Amino acid sequence: MTRTVVSSATREVVIGDDQPFVIIGERINPTGRRALAEEMKAGDFSRVERDTLAQVAAGAHMLDVNAGIPLADEPAILARTIQLVQSLTDVPLSIDSSIVEALEAGLAVYQGRALVNSVTGEEERLERVLPLVKKYDAAVVAISNDETGISEDPDVRFAVAKRIVERAADHGIAATNILVDPLLMPIGAMPTAGRQVFRILGRLRDELKVNSTCGASNVSFGLPHREGINGAYLAMAMASGLTSAITDPIAAGVRQAVMAGDVLMGNDRDAARWIRTHRVAAVEGERGRRINRRRAGSASPA
């Protein structure tokens, strides 16, 4: 059984096919969030603090931290954000940047064993990111594209992932330290996007025997009621082999789908978490109804 271990100074998280699915909170990311980008650039991290606490309270097992702000000192801001987030929570972090200097700045201040997000199959990325991953004994997200772009053929994307795993081995990085991201496209733009990913995930689990992750919210881009699509996608991807995802833990539909997925994969022992969560919900619902009945009673004409 393939197990990937990441940690903070005091907490370990294990990713694997026989483990509860790992949700990596996606919200600390200024891409497409102009207010957050401007605040972070100006040194105001109050929204980062709120996003940290809210995602952990909602059940995120890890948090992704991205500081990709145009024309800003990304390495410095990313390092500062990581230190701040680690002062607020003990969940392990994913250090997310397309700039190698920013990844290194983040790794230098990180307490524990980080997840580096990400390396691709592009030669220049492989040669710059893999030594860093080795140096800091980190885990790494391997995105299955290369210089030729993103293939629509799932078997080509699988082959790219396989090549990254082999190159990582050349650098002394074990396959257990790699989470392959099969690259999920918006289903509204590409009707085969789901099937492509389900196929790659099955091969990653059964043939390459590596763990996987995925930016899961992208799939519903442009559609109404995105949470319904995202939740169903995650359950389907779990059945196909996905073992973690970068997504929004605050969306109730996503949380419920993952929790049910854990039950159905046999990774919520005796369905204990499901039963606990939904018995509590049922009791609270009943209490709410009783309070409402009382209120309705006192308000009715006597």
Task: Tell me 227's DSSP state.
Answer: H
Interface with a copy of itself, residue 266, by CB under 8 A: yes
Q: Which is nearer to a copy of itself, 88 or 239 (CB)?
A: 239
Q: Which is nearer to a copy of itself, 13 or 258 (CB)?
A: 258
d(C-alpha 95, C-alpha 176), whole Å: 18
C-alpha dist (Å) from residue 82 to 150, 217, 234, 292: 30, 23, 27, 45
Residues 232-262 as b/e (b if ≥16 CB within 10 A, e otherwise) read bbbbbbbebbbbbbbbbbbbebbbbbbbbbb
Q: For tokens 């059964």, what's the residue?
A: 206
Q: Which stretch binds a copy of itself (CB under 8 A): 28-36, 59-67, 68-76, 234-242?
A: 234-242
Other Cβ atoms closer than 10 A to 300: 7
Q: Which is nearer to a copy of itself, 9 or 281 (CB)?
A: 281
Angle at 107 between CA 161 and CA 184, to 5 degrees: 30
Interface with a copy of itself, residue 289, by CB under 8 A: no
- Lay out the site mask for a copy of itself across 213-232 (x = CB under 8 A, - = otherwise): ------x---xxx--xx-xx
Tell me how far the alpha carbon of residue 34 is from its chain's centroid: 22
DSSP-derived 3-state class of residue 110: coil
Interface with a copy of itself, residue 272, by CB under 8 A: no
d(C-alpha 161, C-alpha 146), whole Å: 10
Interface with a copy of itself, residue 58, by CB under 8 A: no
Q: Which is nearer to a copy of itself, 11 or 278 (CB)?
A: 278
Q: Which stretch binds a copy of itself (CB under 8 A): 6-14, 156-164, 166-174, 192-200?
A: 192-200
Q: Which is nearer to a copy of itself, 136 or 221 (CB)?
A: 221
Which of 233, 243, 247, 249 is the binder for a copy of itself (CB under 8 A)?
Answer: 233
Q: E strands along 73-196, which residues?
A: 93-96, 115-120, 139-143, 178-181
Interface with a copy of itself, residue 194, by CB under 8 A: yes
Length of the chain: 302
Interface with a copy of itself, residue 191, by CB under 8 A: yes
Interface with a copy of itself, residue 282, by CB under 8 A: yes
Interface with a copy of itself, residue 236, by CB under 8 A: yes
Interacting residues toward a copy of itself by CB under 8 A: 187-188, 191-195, 198, 202, 219, 223-225, 228-229, 231-233, 235-240, 256-257, 259-261, 263-266, 269-271, 274-275, 278-279, 281-282
